[in-house]
Each structure stands twice: as structure tokens, then as C-alpha cells.
Amino acid sequence: MKFANAVAQAAVLALGLGLAVEGTPHSNPHSRPEPKSQVDPHSRTNACKPHHPFRPLPASHPRTRTCHVPCHGDGRDDAENILAALKECNNGGKVVFDADEEYTIGTALDMTFLKHIDLEIRGTVTFTNNTDYWQAHSFKHTYQNATTFFNLGGEDVNIYGDGELNGNGQVWYDLYAENDLILRPILVGVIGLHGGTIGPIKLRYSPQWYHFVANSSDVLFQGINIGGYSTSENEAKNTDGWDIYRSTNIVLQDSIINNGDDCVSFKPNTTDILVQNLHCNGSHGISVGSLGQYKGEIDIVKNVLVYNVSMFNASDGARIKVWPGLPSEMSADLQGGGGLGSVQNITYDMMTIENVDWAIEVTQCYGQSNMTLCNEYPSNLTISDVHFTNFKGVTSGAYNPGVGTIVCSSPDVCSNIYASDIHVTSPVGTDDFVCTNSAGS
């Protein structure tokens, strides 16, 4: 993972996102300024600027009562107190995690029953580092062996308060270095949520992805501040900011992400997604995919707008990754190929990059380094109607003289990909694109 000077990052962040920056950055080189984001969770659509969601987001019902969560404060499990408060204030109330309190969660929480409720997190909520318990009891999801500390779902649920959720990730980073087949929990599992707002809130040290958004609709994420790094020689790997799966009409905006994998990833069967005003550092870009991983399954990503993103110290800026038509292996815990489906109507508009390997990367050979095999067994998943526009900045030089790459496994499954107003150069001043089975003009 690559990191730039914290002061420079703060200045760029203030310009790019229009956020107020006060004081000086912490001495920790991985820290970044906090977003000054105010969200009215009861008027979601009006909070979406400058672009609006593909469909209006539903407003919240009134909240008429308040419950405070008691905190043991000595490291004992507060899960039972949390569940009791949620049940007491469900259907029209607000649950408060008090400021200056340090809550502990050591039990997997099923919170998919929530309806018309706010969670105001003012304090810190930390998940225990009992890796044996969490591997046995975290919630299992079918996609890519994902697991979550908790499942949050229901209808009309808002989470805010600018408090902190802490995944205690260091023990997981070290354990994963010993065994890359362990199941590491995702910090925030949004599973089956229909109508809701999440943020402002801080997320720290997730063992794996920070968000898994599945089977959900009409949710706004705003003012999310993500950060977490390893203090040992073992990297914090696979710490995606958001992975969105089988969901529609989701908005992500006005957020800061410092992580070690995709800043945002659009997984199978994700439609009508708006992403705007993000600061991403140390990531693998804003990614469509990976798709086509599972043979015989149909993956669709359609109608995505990504607008005004600042991308620093990353492997990619804008990225589309599709598996080829034959079995391939990215790593010991990530293999695939042969799936069906399509990527359609994707727009990346206005991206600023600095020290990014590829400003733009499109591939239908994900996980397959043998290009002869990839071309012999082209992807079963089509890519069409993709627009990259208004990009500027300088790459890392990792692929001098190239700044972008578009690799299609066959011209029959890859069409209408447009790049315009791309003002990106490599450190040596070139702006070459690598194009395979696609028009190179």
C-alpha cells in the first residue's frame, strides 16, 4: 500500500470534496482529516448532491421515543443491552449509544427485524478479538465466503452520530498471514435493508471488507470515514470500503476511505448506483466486479454513475474486472471463471488521480495471466456502453509509458467503451493506452 504526504492529502481533500479542514493531521501517516458532514436522515433524497439517486429515496417516519444503551464499560459483552434497547425502541424510536462510552460486542447480532428506528452512535463500539468465536458464529453469506459481525436489516433504519465502530482488525491481519482460508468478519453487514441512511460515522480496523451491502434498496451512505492499517509486517488485506451485491438504488457520497483494496466494488446484480464526492487512498479503485466468477450464474451490473472522486496511491482509478470463460485463479482463496451476464451503462465522470498505477483498467481476463488461453476461452459476460470522462492527474509510472488499459477477451463481448477528456500522463510525460480486442482510437 502506498501513502502520500498527509498535509498534501488534506489540502487536496478540502478542494476536491469541499470539506472543512481544521488543525493539523495526526502524526500517524495513515490518518486523514474528518469529514464535516451533516445528514438529515429523515430527508434522504434532498441530501444527495450534486446528482440525485436513480429513484427518489423514501423519507423516514417520525421518531417519538428514546432509549439509551447501558454500557458495562469494562470489556464485558454489551450485546444483550443493545438488543434490549433495539426491541424497546423499534417501530418509532431512537437508540442512543452514549458519548464517551466504550461498548463491547462479543456476540453475533441479528438486527434484521428493525423498522422505523434510529441508532445514534456517539461513543465507541468495539468487537472482541476472539477469533475462534467469530469464525464459528459470525453470519455466513454465500458470496465469496463473506461473513459479518452483525446483520442489519429491515425498513427505514438510520445510523449516525459520528461515533466509531472498531473491528479490532490487527489480530485478523496477523492470522490471515498464517492461513489465508480463515473467515474474517466484515465490519458492517447491511443485509436486507430497505430505506435507510448510514453516516456520519467512523469505521476503523475491519478484519476484511468494511461494508457488505446485500439484498438492499434505497439506502444512503454519507459522511463515512474509513481507516485502518496494520501495525505489524502483515498487511491489512481485502479491506474494501463497500461491496454492493444484489442491491438497487444505493447512494454513496461525501466520504473518506483509507484502505487496502477496492474503494467501492459493484458486485453481481447491482443496479442504479450513485457514487459521488469520495476521497480514496491506498485502494484498488472504484471497481465493477469482479463478475463472471461462478460458472452458470448470471451477473448483471447496470446503471452506475461515479462522479467527482479523488484517488491517491492506488493500483487503479476506474476499474472493470471480469473473469474469462475458463477456470482461473487469482489467489488461493479466490478462483473463478465461466459466469454469464453483462455490464451496461457505466459512467465515470471527473476523477483526479495521483500516484495511481492505471488511471483506467478494463479487463475480461481477471485472474488469468495467460492471454492466449483468455482469448481462446473468451468471457461469457459482455461489457457495453461504458464512459470514462474528465480524468486528470499523473500515474505512478508502474506501467510507463501506459496510463490505461482496455483488455477484451474478444471483440464480440466488449463494445462501446469511450474515453474522452482524459488528461492523465505518466511521470515520463506519456499518455499511452494498452488496447486488446477493442478499438484503439
Domains in the chain, CATH or no CATH each: 6-436 (2.160.20.10)
Spatial distance between the Cα atoms of 169 and 208, rounded to a whole number of angstroms: 8
Which of 30, 218, 284, 316 is an active site residue?
284
Q: How many Å apart are CA 270 and CA 262, to the nearest integer?
A: 16
Question: How is 79-107 classified by DSSP, letter by letter?
Answer: HHHHHHHHHHHTTTEEEEE-TT-EEEE-S
Neighbours of 308 (CB within 10 A): 19
Q: What is the structure's pLDDT at 327?
A: 87
Q: Among 79, 58, 383, which Cα is nearest to 195's?
A: 58
Per-residue pLDDT of the chain (441 residues; tens, 9 = 90+): 333 333 233 333 433 343 322 222 222 333 333 334 455 667 776 788 999 999 999 999 999 999 999 999 999 999 999 999 999 999 999 999 999 999 999 999 999 999 999 999 999 999 999 999 999 999 999 888 999 999 999 999 999 999 999 999 999 999 999 999 999 999 999 999 999 999 999 999 999 999 999 999 999 999 999 999 999 999 999 999 999 999 999 999 999 999 999 999 999 999 999 999 999 999 999 999 999 999 989 999 999 999 999 999 999 999 999 999 888 888 877 888 889 999 999 999 999 999 999 999 999 989 888 888 888 888 899 999 999 999 999 999 999 999 999 988 888 899 999 999 999 999 999 999 998 887 655
Is 261 designated active site?
yes
Which of 218, 261, 262, 349 is catalytic? The answer is 261
Are 131 and 175 in contact by the 8 Å Cβ rule? The answer is yes
355's enclosing H/E stretch is strand 340-363
Return d(Cα 341, Cα 290) in angstroms, integer: 12
Element (H, E) at 172: helix 170-178
pLDDT at 439: 63
Amino acid at 407: V
Residue 117 in contact with residue 93, Cβ under 8 Å?
Answer: yes
Catalytic annotation present for 284: yes
Amino acid letter for position 30? H
- Predicted pLDDT of residue 6: 35
